[in-house]
Structure 1
Amino acid sequence: MMKVCDQVCPEKKQAFSNVSLSRNTVAERTCDLATNLYDQLMEKGKDLVSFSLAVDESTDASDTAQLSVFIRGVDSNLCVTEELLGFKSMHGTTTGKEIFEEVCKCVTEIKLPWDKLVGLTTDGSPAMCGKKNGLVGRIREKMREENCAGELSVYHCIIHQESLCGKALKMEHVMTTVTQVVNFIRAKGLNHRQFKSFLDECGSEYADVPYHTEVRWLSRGKVLNRFFELREEICQFLQSKGKDTAELREQRFLCELAFLCDISSHLDALNLQLQGRGRIITDMYAAVRAFKTKLCLWENQMLQGNLGHFPCCQTIKTQISTAVCAQFAEKLSVLGAEFSRRFADFDVQKCRFELLSNPFAVDVENAPTNLQMELIELQCNDTLKSKYDAVGAAQFPQFIPDTMPQLRTQAAQLLSMFGSTYLCEQLFSLMKMTKTSHRRRLTDEHLRSILRVSSAQSLSPDIDELLASKKRCQVSGLGTSD
């Protein structure tokens, strides 16, 4: 910085030299920023009319279990706040009781009333989902003790569910073969270098084949598609190494590989739709419903031999017989049934979700009694209908008038719900980049502060207040006596 200052703005050299960059100063100021964000979140909590929690657990580089708790709250103006509520280091066991105690501390410390908790989304592990001793069961018991009138809506992360559905295809034998070949090419440096040189000599469109990593949602589809595109080059390279390529050239294996590539691409596209911050649970559910409908269409088309939505299969269409198409149609049917089974808890809320996604199309007679009068008034109001068409479902609740309090409350509850633990997964990625094998001595407090600042989205630290008004410049060696 000082060297740049000498060239760019030498008149500001003294101002730059006054900036303290000692490790203690940086650590303290990071903690101050995190504290400021937490204080703002506490202040926001006073105005929340409903909130939901997303809870997940992972381990860091020092094998310490880390519990992340995100809050999604909606205030009286129906504005959404989505922030990290707590990040707890658990040095012992991580049973349902211990997870509940930590989550309970997070809610209590920020002074949030339990009767405003409407939703809980977890990773689906037994410690989380146990109806008696898990986090879900204990929170429901806590809400009964607090005499909470509302019912807690519990969801298993929609992204995890979608990923698990893919296992119903039972095509691990294809993935195992692909993984073994990729590992042979990439595990040894010489093989990897020779393979890349081979692709370059062949004038291939691709320069390499990627690794498959089970914990990364999209790696499966990327590896399969690249493998399929390079199947001829891979066979030639393996033959040059004296490896048997008979299995890779079998018609059955090639057809299954093409089908798995295509369906994995479709699943990856759905996965991307479900990712991201600020996603409304009704939009996520709509994406899943659309995919289930697509599966029915693909199944019928596959039975007719129509491969229009399966580009990899189309490239080897002459090798795919009617019997093979029937087998693939059966797999699509199984996949559709798995989606219906895993998303049954979302299907139960379908009518409730429509109150947010399209309130003007809701059948009033089937709506809850306490909402029927307000729904009639809403659906007969042309001005509100125009506003809905203009701003969309996500922003429309803010324009529901105060004369419809029940609809506003219902909208607040739905807007506050998490559909996935995506934020927790994203935070764990930040954690692994922050607390590496070379930074294992990073304290729990400092790790928590770094992650709170780096994950902040709805809130931003008041820099002027923290670093200008309350901090005095301290320069090492300034004013010391001989």
Structure 2
Amino acid sequence: MEKGKDFVAFSLAVDESCDASDTAQLSVFIRGVDSNLCVTEELLGFKSMHGTTTGKEIFEEFSKCVTEIKLPWDKLVGLTTDGAPAMCGKKSGLVGMVREKMREENCAGELTVYHCIIHQEALCAKALKMEHVMTTVTQVVNFIRAKGLNHRQFKYFLEECGSEYADVPYHTEVRWLSRGKVLNRCFELREEICQFLETKGKDTAELREQKFLCELAFLCDISSHLDALNLQLQGRGRNITDMYAAVRAFKTKLCLWENQMLQGNPCHFPCCQSIKAQISTAVFPCAQFAEKLSVLAAEFSRRFADFDAQKCKFELLSNPFAVDVENAPTNIQMELIELQCNDTLKSKYDAVGAAQFPRFIPDTMPQLRTQAAQMLSMFGSTYLCEQLFSSMKMTKTTHRRRLTDEHLRSILRISSAQSLSPDIDELASKKRCQVSGLGTSD
């Protein structure tokens, strides 16, 4: 509450998940920026929802989080959700109701809404339409891992073969990075897996087909690239401009890979190179894979259109000295010209970098400072919410289902705190010390 009084802009990240007792838990994180352009990123509220979780109910709990801390609605500039209908609905969803609330409060600013970058990146991968390969791999892994005897025999078989790897991991749909790990391990152990399945009387004709091996190799490589991007987007305290830059770089890479694949040169796809060396070059479907890369690039452009629309604002934060003044908002054009012509500030930018530079923008450029504060406050993803839900799963397990909502909230608030620290003296002063008695008797 004390820090919130100094915020000149703040944004919120919202997500919802169920705990071990099937109670819906709503987490709301705040990223606030004060007048000194210092960023505070903390858990704003954690609300238990025992009934339905429609947009209206979510908005009511969301609104309580804002009003309990006495945050002014006119300072709210950004809202990031997981993209669920109850969250992003324009009328009956959380986004629509927040915008209506801001109109009622006569807020002058416009609310910028984002669908979590990490969610969108994971959804883009579905455009490849290679589920048939993943289904076959999953069936093979499940056959090996589902029964204890098969699993033990397979590990012993790998040991006898002198394999570099000792096992294959499970694939879990909700754990995005597991997909790439499973595919790569199965590709590396493809020969050992086929030999083991044959000892069990299983047909391995499909696994040995050249077409399947080519598709498996391509899916391995593109999944590895997607996983690398996913890891770049994770973490606390990430600026939305850096996350957007990572996505833009990946879209550019997709164009390069498409052109190289059309030329029959999969130099950035090691698994494809390995398979191509084993089979006839004419058999390897370069054109087919180039088309899939083109489809993936188009899906990235479609899903990240809302981020592309903010490109000019992102550039104002990441590199204000390279922004075309004519394309900048009119209210900051004069200040932007002064900034770009100031050699001292340019030297400071080169010295401290884009992340720290906004703090050195002088008070004589209030519009630029306000713009910087708004962009610094933006959440690019709901990563913090997902991280909190992971802590929730470990805290409220099937063996601790009776943990109360209040206790769970307290535990998660402490575990998620970053820059806040408890004032023990203040807390202790509000508690009544236990006394042994009111007095002595004769």
Q: TM-score, normalised by structure 1?
A: 0.88
* 3-state DSSP of counterpart to 1:429: helix
Task: Tell me the CA shift for residue 365 of structure 1.
Answer: 1.3
1:361 aligns with 2:322: yes
Q: Equivalents in 2 of 1:475, 1:307: separation in Å?
A: 77
Residue by residue, what CA displacement relative to the aligned partner does 1:86-123 show, whole Å, maximum 9, x if unpaired? 00000000000000011001001110111100000000
Residue by residue, what CA displacement relative to the aligned partner does 1:371-392 show, whole Å, maximum 9, x if unpaired? 0111111111111111111111
* 3-state DSSP of counterpart to 1:46: helix
Task: Tell me the CA shift for residue 462 of structure 1.
Answer: 2.8
Task: Tell me the CA shift for residue 469 of structure 1.
Answer: 6.6
Which deviates more, 75-84 or 388-397?
A: 388-397
Task: Tell me the CA shift for residue 474 of structure 1.
Answer: 7.3
Which residue pairs with 1:254 in the alignment?
A: 213
Q: 1:209 to 1:374 in 2, by over 3 A?
A: same
Which residue pairs with 2:257 in the alignment?
A: 298
Residue by residue, what CA displacement relative to the aligned partner does 1:451-470 show, whole Å, maximum 9, x if unpaired? 000001121223465x8777
Task: Tell me the CA shift for residue 318 of structure 1.
Answer: 3.1
Q: 1:242 to 1:117 in 2, by over 3 A?
A: same
Q: 1:316 to 1:78 in 2, by over 3 A?
A: same
Residue by residue, what CA displacement relative to the aligned partner does 1:187-215 show, whole Å, maximum 9, x if unpaired? 00000011111111111111110000000
1:164 aligns with 2:123: yes
Moved over 4 A (4+): 319-324, 467-482
Q: 1:262 to 1:67 in 2, by over 3 A?
A: same
Q: Equivalents in 1 of 2:309, 2:241: separation in Å?
A: 13
Contact 1:58/1:428 (8 A) holds in 2: yes
- Structure 2 unmatched runs, 5+: none
Q: 1:82 to 1:323 in 2, by over 3 A?
A: farther
Contact 1:255/1:320 (8 A) holds in 2: no
Query: Which residues of 2 match residues 154-193 of structure 1 at below 5 A?
Result: 154-193=113-152
Q: 1:320 to 1:134 in 2, by over 3 A?
A: farther
Task: Tell me the CA shift for residue 321 of structure 1.
Answer: 5.8
Q: Equivalents in 1 of 2:302, 2:367: separation in Å?
A: 32
Q: Equivalents in 2 of 1:358, 1:284: separation in Å?
A: 15
Q: 1:448 to 1:316 in 2, by over 3 A?
A: same
Contact 1:120/1:152 (8 A) holds in 2: yes
Q: 1:478 to 1:373 in 2, by over 3 A?
A: same
Task: Tell me the CA shift for residue 182 of structure 1.
Answer: 0.2
Query: What is the identity percentage for the equivalent residue pairs of Structure 1 and Structure 2?
Result: 93
Q: Equivalents in 2 of 1:118, 1:372: separation in Å?
A: 21
Q: 1:455 to 1:481 in 2, by over 3 A?
A: farther
Query: Which residues of 2 match residues 51-130 of structure 1 at below 5 A?
Result: 51-130=10-89
Task: Tell me the CA shift for residue 481 of structure 1.
Answer: 14
Q: Equivalents in 2 of 1:252, 1:142: separation in Å?
A: 56
Q: 1:476 to 1:207 in 2, by over 3 A?
A: farther
Task: Tell me the CA shift for residue 317 of structure 1.
Answer: 1.5
Higher relative contact order (CA 8 A, sep 6+): 1
Q: 1:330 to 1:322 in 2, by over 3 A?
A: farther
Contact 1:50/1:74 (8 A) holds in 2: yes
Matched positions, count: 440
Contact 1:61/1:437 (8 A) holds in 2: yes
Q: 1:478 to 1:236 in 2, by over 3 A?
A: farther
Task: Tell me the CA shift for residue 170 of structure 1.
Answer: 0.2
* 3-state DSSP of counterpart to 2:2: helix
Which residue pairs with 1:481 in the alignment?
A: 441
- Structure 1 unmatched runs, 5+: 1-41
Q: 1:462 to 1:326 in 2, by over 3 A?
A: same
1:216 aligns with 2:175: yes
Which residue pairs with 2:95 in the alignment?
A: 136
Contact 1:251/1:319 (8 A) holds in 2: no
Q: Equivalents in 1 of 2:338, 2:266: separation in Å?
A: 48
Q: CA RMSD in A?
A: 2.2
Q: 1:161 to 1:243 in 2, by over 3 A?
A: same
Q: Equivalents in 1 of 2:441, 2:295: separation in Å?
A: 80
